[in-house]
Amino acid sequence: MEGRGSPILFDSSLLRPPLGRYSSLSADPVRVYRLDEPTADPFSAIRRDLAAFGTMPSLPDLGGFVGGAAGFLSYEMGRSFERLPVPRLPGAPLPAMHVGLYDWSIVWDHFTGRCWIASTGFPETSETARLARARDRIRQVREWLGAPPLAAPQTVPDGGVEIDGHSLAMPSLPLLKSNFTRPQYLEAVARVVEYIRAGDIFQANLSQQLNHPFGGSPVELYEILRKVNPAPFAGYMAADGWAIASASPERFFEVRGDEVSTRPIKGTRRRWHDRPEADLFRADELRESDKDLSENVMIVDLLRNDLSRVCRPGSIRVPQLCRVETYETVQHLVSEVRGELQSGRDFWDTLSAAFPGGSITGAPKVRAMEIITELEQIPRGPYCGTLFYSGFDGRSDSNILIRTFVIAEGLLRCSVGGGVVVASDPAAEYAETLHKAAGMLRALEAWQQAAH
């Protein structure tokens, strides 16, 4: 679908039951909702249009995204839901929100090998008109699948661009720069620890932004990324000269009926593929680390509090606490929090109550976000935001946009960070960010080699 309007892909590139079963692709939305700055009620127009069409709960449980609202929110959209000062930061290259209403989707079931086109007939409201439009769209999508791909424009001028920042001195990526030097990042971590000791916060998620010139097809980069760094909540979206290519391992939250679940990640160790015994040792070390366990439990408590705003009293539970999960370049501690939504509450209420995710802010959330803005000094943009869908069938899902490339204005941006607690060692926190970046940088290296 390269070259079609606002293509979006929800990609389970890491096939791991019960996660990673379905992937869904759509494009050419019927309507687009874009916000350049956060507003007090960002979802009002989307909810109005969805209500006019109505949900289709009678659809069979096909899995994946079958059509509905889908898009991304930037981290800065948190100002729509929390009382935060407006920071004086450089302008962001992407909008704060870009959401489309998609009337069709191609869905893959990776476990059965089946693939189908779901077409809803949106925005028609009568049964006859819906059926006619749904059939027309299926024919159109089949024609697109059989046609040559549309040419995608270059995303960077031929002469390249100059990047402000500090070189990471990587021989394989000599043009890669960060908004922090290593000493500056260590100093920022130490400053967070000072805030913790002063009683301002318990934890904050600090990040650095890596930048590299980019020219070419973001789709080709994503195809490499999903092979090099497969993830259960990966995805891709593009519009208006920008693209988001994500290999996220983290679900923000899923809504199915009145059940909501979230899977926060806190705690990381690098993988040792060439030394299996070291890999197992690091997993055990992570499982028994007081620092990482406390970091994870803090965020579980924060998310329980966020979900309590929209869930029935007494319904919130933690079926999984601090389990080690293994990915291509790192191992993580992952927990799960579940709850039952109050009557009349839905995906949009949950998004408003919990965004941005606690795992990438800190606790308490608002004060942690203020400190993040003070120390990072740049907008995060899509990083630590969410790529999500809310389907006409009543199912919704969303990720946390980590391990994510953001491509715009001739630059590729990739931010990496980690939770800082009172026991944090600044040098270890800096090293952790580079461990998290390893799969992304490996994909960038492979893309460079293929391009040249």
Please list the active-site residues. 250, 266
Q: Report the alpha-carbon distance of residue 231 to residue 225 in Å, rounded.
A: 10
More confident residue, 86 or 242: 242
Between CA 298 and CA 266 the distance in angstroms is 9
Sequential DSSP letters for 22-49:
EEEEE-S-SEEEEESS--SSTTHHHHHH
Does 301 score more than 80 pLDDT?
yes
For 406-443, write each residue's pLDDT tens digit.
999 999 999 999 999 999 999 999 999 999 999 999 99
Examine the pLDDT at 16 and tell me if it is beyond 90.
Answer: no
Hey, where are the domains in the chain? Answer: 8-451
pLDDT: which is higher, 27 or 450: 27
Q: How confident is the model at residue 18 (pLDDT cuts 50, 70, 90)?
A: confident
For the chain, percent of residues with pLDDT exceeding 70: 93
User: Is residue 83 very low, low, confident or very high in pLDDT (cuts 50, 70, 90)?
Assistant: confident
Strands (E), 215-345: 233-239, 242-248, 251-256, 259-262, 265-270, 317-326, 330-340
Helix axes 426-451, 182-197, angle to 10 degrees: 140
Residues 21-27 have a mean pLDDT of 95
Q: Which of 268-272, 285-289, 347-351 has the lowest mean pLDDT?
A: 268-272
Evaluated on CA atoms 151, 153, 159, 162, the torsion sign reads: negative
What is the SS3 assignment for 19?
strand
What confidence score (pLDDT) does residue 153 get? 46
> Running DSSP on this structure, what letter comes out for residue 380?
-
Q: Classify domain 8-451 by CATH number.
A: 3.60.120.10
CA dihedral 279, 284, 288, 293 (to 10 degrees): 50
Q: Which of 357, 395, 382, 353 is nearest to 69 (CA)?
A: 395
* pTM of this prediction exceeds 0.85: yes
Q: Count CA atoms closer than 13 A to 129's CA, side-chain side.
A: 6
| pLDDT 10s digits, 90-130 | 777 899 999 999 999 999 999 889 999 999 999 998 889 99
Q: φ, ψ for residue 226 (rounded to 5)?
A: -70, -25
